[in-house]
Amino acid sequence: MIEKYRHQFNANFTEEKYHQLLKKLEKGFPPIPFRVAETPIFISQELKEKLIAAGEEIISLIKQDNFKELTQNAIPSQWNVPNETAHPHFLTFDYGLCKNEKGEVTPMLIEMQGFPSLYGFQSHLAHTYKEVFNLDDNLSPYFNGLDETSYFELFKKVVVGNYAPHEVALMDVDAPNQKTAIDFFVTAKHLGIKILALEDIIKEGKQLFYEENSQKIQLKRIYNRLIFDEIAENTDIFKNSFDPREELDVEWITHPNWFYRISKYTMPFLKSEFVPETHFLNTLKTIPTDLENYVLKPLFSFAGMGVIIDLTEADVKAIKDRENWILQRKVTYEPVIQVPDDGVKAEIRMMYLWPDGEEPQLCINLGRLSRGKMIGVRYNADFDWVGGTVGLMENQ
């Protein structure tokens, strides 16, 4: 992407350095169960500007006065959590790297979430790539003039706020053993907060507590990493802890309802050169005759599950709950990342932090490289030069 860095990296790459990268990433942290790619992405200024412009268009929709009204049906009734905040604290937008009619590399929106991502790990990953591969000091994963120090200050401001760190906890069902646990531990190290599994939390009245050194400590804020879609209907997991759907004396960072409001559900409302044509299936008057150019996606699914790629008219007609599906024009990824033996496809996630009472701030990014039919671990299990990565840009 920035050719001089791409050529330098490929010329100097060794398997020994790659294994050193993995070893350094895991030092002091749990093992990483997902594949880390051999290389970062070197994002050009031109692509950076397009990614920023695409995000600004999406945010303008989210900030509309009627956005909550537009997305009210996005929240499944069984997962509606009380005391929703005025705005989410996190925004993540995933773009596939494609080529436009002029042959220029351009981003196309694939997915979006009002939910946190690997905000801790991505900084750790960028730092380690730069250290192991001796990359230029001028390269950075951050936006808006942030550096590692100011980035974690902003992150802490959003997550911890005015509370003491011990009053805030990162929470997931079985947090220490999740696939993304390394992100949890990097976050806890920088922010000073606790990592708690759901069953570590005790409910008394409307208050939540955890125990440490035989002391009971009240939780004031939950940095929520629990995705209801992953639980499905298994509400038994709440029996030995608390049910998030109850009225509780606790703040959510970010509130669970935003996971649904900012999601595939939002995409039909977006009209942009960076967004593929998208329709709610139940609003379609006629089925397109060129279904080979479309993909069918369930609104409520996790990590690409349930997506129908090689689509037929019979597939469309077989859908009963049409209001829970979108039909989206396919995005053609271009193998624009040149690795030693070929080009590989890439996706870039733009990650924003939104402090209370302020504007959303683009701060860091996440990348994924792929040779498979889709981006994702299960489609790239047998390849190298694929997996999680980060975009590095020249400081201006």
pLDDT tens, residue by residue, 51-76: 999 999 999 999 999 999 999 999 98
How does pLDDT run across 177-192, given as a tens digit for each residue? 899 999 999 999 999 9
The stretch 115-142 carries a mean pLDDT of: 98
Helix (H/G/I), strand (E/B), else coil: 1 = coil
The pLDDT of residue 78 is 87
How sure is the predictor about 106, in pLDDT bands with cuts at 50, 70 and 90?
very high
User: 268 — phi, psi (to 5°)?
Assistant: -65, -20
Neighbours of 72 (CB within 10 A): 12
How does pLDDT run across 187-219, given as a tens digit for each residue? 999 999 999 999 999 999 999 999 999 999 999
What sign for the dihedral angle of Cα 268, 255, 182, 362? positive
Task: Determine the Cα angle at 133 with ends 129 and 134, to 5°.
Answer: 105
pLDDT over threshold 80, residue 380? no
How does pLDDT run across 235-258, given as a tens digit for each residue? 788 888 999 999 999 999 999 999
Cα–Cα distance between 346 and 208 in angstroms, integer?
42
| Run of H or E residues at 328 | strand 325-329
Helix (H/G/I), strand (E/B), else coil: 274 = coil
pLDDT over threshold 80, residue 300? no
Q: What is the pTM of this model?
A: 0.94
Query: Which residues have a Cβ under 8 Å from the Cβ of 27 and sit 6 or more positions away?
Result: none
The pLDDT of residue 223 is 98
Cα–Cα distance between 1 and 391 in angstroms, integer?
10
Q: Of all residues in the chain, what percent carry a pLDDT higher than 90?
A: 84
How does pLDDT run across 81-98, given as a tens digit for each residue? 999 999 999 999 999 999
Cα–Cα distance between 200 and 183 in angstroms, integer?
19
| Run of H or E residues at 96 | strand 90-99
The pLDDT of residue 2 is 86
CA 223 vs CA 76, 185, 238: distances in Å: 21, 13, 17
Q: What is the largest CA-CA distance in the chain?
A: 66
Nearest CA among 150, 152, 148 for reference residue 190 = 152
pLDDT over threshold 70, residue 302? no
Which of 156-160, 230-234, 257-261 has the weakest average pLDDT? 230-234
The pLDDT of residue 239 is 87
Phi/psi-derived region of residue 293, left when phi > 0, alpha when psi is between -120 and 50, beta in every other case: alpha
The β-bridge partners of 368 are: 347, 388
The stretch 278-292 carries a mean pLDDT of: 94
The pLDDT of residue 232 is 66
Q: Which CATH architecture has domain 160-253?
A: 3-Layer(aba) Sandwich (3.40)
- Joined together, the tokens standing for residue 344 give 């590989």
Domain ranges of the chain: 1-80+87-142+259-276+331-385, 160-253
pLDDT over threshold 60, residue 304? no
How sure is the predictor about 377, in pLDDT bands with cuts at 50, 70 and 90?
low
